[in-house]
Structure 1
């Protein structure tokens, strides 16, 4: 099978959209990630998969902490900014949780400490222990078949 067919097949799995963030020399850096999952309840672990070509790859190899923000329907534009699909017209509202940058007003914000990294093909899977979280009630933005979707 070719790469396009495989990518199309993986696109049939509906996912939420997250922004992974971290601090570099006092600045917040981040990227849109839909390869995110819960790993364990005890301890509380999550995983994100980052392409080795991504701008955040080298940064996340060095930083001991990172944030994950699960976006709401109203935050679709933020996803597009961090995915470099849209230019940023106004600053994205960032706050901190346990001194880790996260997107303000997200459905879920997680402050994570890196506990393991696993090289998997052209990606690295970063496993983080959740040290704190904020949970809100709202609808998530979804991604399916190469398009943003909403719960109806």
Structure 2
């Protein structure tokens, strides 16, 4: 979970030539994420899939906000597409699949978007309190750099 949802976006961001915009796919479940940066890969903790998912989606918001701060020329945002009926979300998900992609499209193409935001249905949305904490962002980036050997620089 961590490798795909957290470390891969970090590594791709650190290696890519700076684009005009970056959009990180998060989830409303990020609000239940834990900031346990000393066990990102769940080596010492007992595995709990839903918690690992929530943690990884919090990492995506941390990354989006850190990039917005470190690369002011890049529009960097995170998005919650909603809980929609897909193979992953399940048939009982209450969201509208037809609406799920619209915020990403708006962030990718719109001229009225800012940077360092978290959006749900094209509206700013609340985030986990740690997401905006500069020290937590930097600790997350340092942990990822340590794991990959690649540092995301400002």
Same fold flag (TM > 0.5): no
Higher strand share: 1
Structure 2-normalised TM-score?
0.28
TM-score normalised by L of structure 1: 0.29
